[in-house]
Structure 1
Amino acid sequence: MRPKQWYKNLVIFIGIVFSLNLLNFNLWTNVISAFVVFCLLSGSIYIINDCLDVEKDRNHPKKCERPLASGRLKKPHALLFSGIAVVIALLLAYTVNTSLFLVSLSFFGLILVYSLFLKEMILVDILVISAGFVLRAVAGCVAIGIFVSSWLILCTFLMALFLALVKRRHELILLKDKAGSHRKILESYSEDMLDQMINITTASLIMSYSLYTFFAQNIYLMATIPLAFYGVFRYLFLVHSNGIGGEPEIIFKDKGMVISMTLWVALVIGVLYFNKLGLPGV
């Protein structure tokens, strides 16, 4: 179920922060429930995906060590557990509200179709992955009954697209001539093509975030722009210098990324909530 990748579901908490409900403890139960729902769903989909790709994973230098690919876990046992987890997740989502149930069901259906078919379609594969992150962000909003901002959708989509493109590039470089045997779609990509798309997406991401801060009701959010820029550029630096693009979670082990992300979160919360409290000068 790859719990080390459940950090991706932290996107769910964006809604409660930017809607100025961080201190509304009555809503936290719903947000945490949504987080648990998506951890169970994403973990279940990882299991299904590994069952489908077990033979291909055996040709991968790292993925060959996964439980199914290595033979330590049997497919029937894995699929049974996956099914149980999906049922529990959807029931939990329904207890929160109908909207969260529908978004959760849409997420599971989308990623399941991706695992079965869409991952073999060039460009569609990375767009679906990005859409999955958007659904995570939307889930965090509908769980607490707040408006889903268009800026939230745009910035989340672009950030996820950026990470997906970098990961494809990393896989292409890591596997080289064996890329097609592991993931057939990699034969359709080239390093130059991915670099161009990464450049376009990076520019779009930082411009979209900047425009969001310009048009936000709180103009002091513009103070977070340098930290956002640094985080994106630092990640690109790590990818090109250390080749970590295939495992984005390694950013939590880089001191520069950890410091920039911590400062960004602290500054965003400070700007939003000090202003809400009506403190002078903000």
Structure 2
Amino acid sequence: MKKYVRMLRVKHWLKNVLIFAPLFFGEVLFDYAMIAKSFYAFLVFGLAASVVYIINDINDVEKDRKHPTKCKRPIASGEVSIKAAWVFCAVLVLLVAVMSFAAVFLDLYSYVAVIWLVAYIVINLIYSKWGKHVPVVDVVLLAVGFLIRLYYGAQVVQVDISAWLYLTVLAGAFYLGMGKRRNELKNVSEGETRAVLRKYNYAFLDKNMYVCIAFAEVTYALWAMQSGHSGLMFTVPVVMVIFMKYSLNIEADDSEGNPMDVLLEDKLLLVCVFLYAIIAFFSIYVL
């Protein structure tokens, strides 16, 4: 059973925490009905994301077997056969469909949220089949995935998304995507599994990464100023430190630039994120 749980890549569900951003910043954090809806939506989205991961692993099985770390994944290592993986994937698709239908039927959230969920799956299937082989398009599709998480969460709790927050998430997503590509390019040999890496160069990715990080910090500061909560301005330097520490981590020679690994393996970075959450909470709900 553990091998099937590993196929879900639950660790990567951490990316879906962005779904809770509208709940938190929309000032409905103490609305228990909204909390329940958000957690339910998070679970459904996580299962949908796992469907995409499994399909991607099936499509890339031969390439993953040549990769130093991906070769340990259940499908690439042979622990789970491709046939069994497809069956498991079909069960997950059915589960996601039933849970989404139940959410609409029970009025947990509207069909619009389900449309965002379907859009996420479609975008990622396009990425898996074609987009990840096309430079720039691959990073754009990854960034769109982060935006969909944001708007999916907003639809669940019926909160509007500020244009500045939209731009912050978009720029931050571009930064993460190009950072991962840059480190893959830096650390791999000629036999690397991603053919798209041969179409990138280190200087291009490096320059555009830091354009995006600057843009994200500026738009975040503008969002904080216009949020109506003056205390949020104190989170701006914390956000800058988070970006700096993250950047320092992915500059390490042994880093592959995977956002989840970079975050979870650095206690200081986790402390900074926790500090950000505390300041933001007091600014919005206490002061």
Query: Could you state the TM-score of these two structures normalised by the residue count of structure 2?
Result: 0.91
The equivalent residue for 2:140 is 127
The equivalent residue for 2:116 is 103
The one-letter amino acid paired with 2:275 is L
Q: How does 1:60-71 map to 2 (within 5 A)?
A: 60-71=67-78
The equivalent residue for 1:84 is 91
Query: CA deviation digits over 1:154-203, x for unaligned, max 9?
Result: 21122111111111111111213223xx0111110111111011111111
Q: How does 1:34-45 map to 2 (within 5 A)?
A: 34-45=41-52
The one-letter amino acid paired with 1:127 is V
Does the CA-based 8 Å contact 1:100-1:139 persist in structure 2? Answer: yes
User: Which of 207, 210, 221 is the equivalent residue of 2:232?
Assistant: 221
Residue 51 of structure 1: how far off its partner (Å): 0.3
Structure 2 unpaired stretches of 5+? 1-7
Identify the range of structure 1 (147-156 vs 205-214) with the bigger mean alpha-carbon deviation: 147-156
Is 1:267–2:279 an aligned residue pair? yes
| CA–CA separation in structure 2 for the residues paired with 1:235 and 1:19 | 27
Is 1:184–2:191 an aligned residue pair? no
User: Which of 246, 249, 267 is the equivalent residue of 1:255?
Assistant: 267
User: Which of 214, 234, 239 is the equivalent residue of 1:203?
Assistant: 214
Does the CA-based 8 Å contact 2:164-2:222 persist in structure 1? Answer: no
The one-letter amino acid paired with 1:257 is L
Query: CA deviation digits over 1:195-224, x for unaligned, max 9?
Result: 011111111111111111122211221110
| CA–CA separation in structure 1 for the residues paired with 2:256 and 2:218 | 22
User: Which of 163, 171, 174 is the equivalent residue of 1:150?
Assistant: 163
The one-letter amino acid paired with 2:86 is L
Query: Could you state the TM-score of these two structures normalised by the residue count of structure 1?
Result: 0.93
Does the CA-based 8 Å contact 1:33-1:93 persist in structure 2? Answer: no
| CA–CA separation in structure 2 for the residues paired with 1:87 and 1:145 | 26
Is 1:8–2:43 an aligned residue pair? no
Residue 242 of structure 1: how far off its partner (Å): 5.3
| CA–CA separation in structure 2 for the residues paired with 1:90 and 1:147 | 26
The equivalent residue for 2:38 is 31
- Moved beyond 3 Å, runs of 4+: none
The equivalent residue for 1:234 is 245
Structure 1 unpaired stretches of 5+? 276-282
Residue 93 of structure 1: how far off its partner (Å): 2.6
Query: Paired residues, what number?
Result: 273
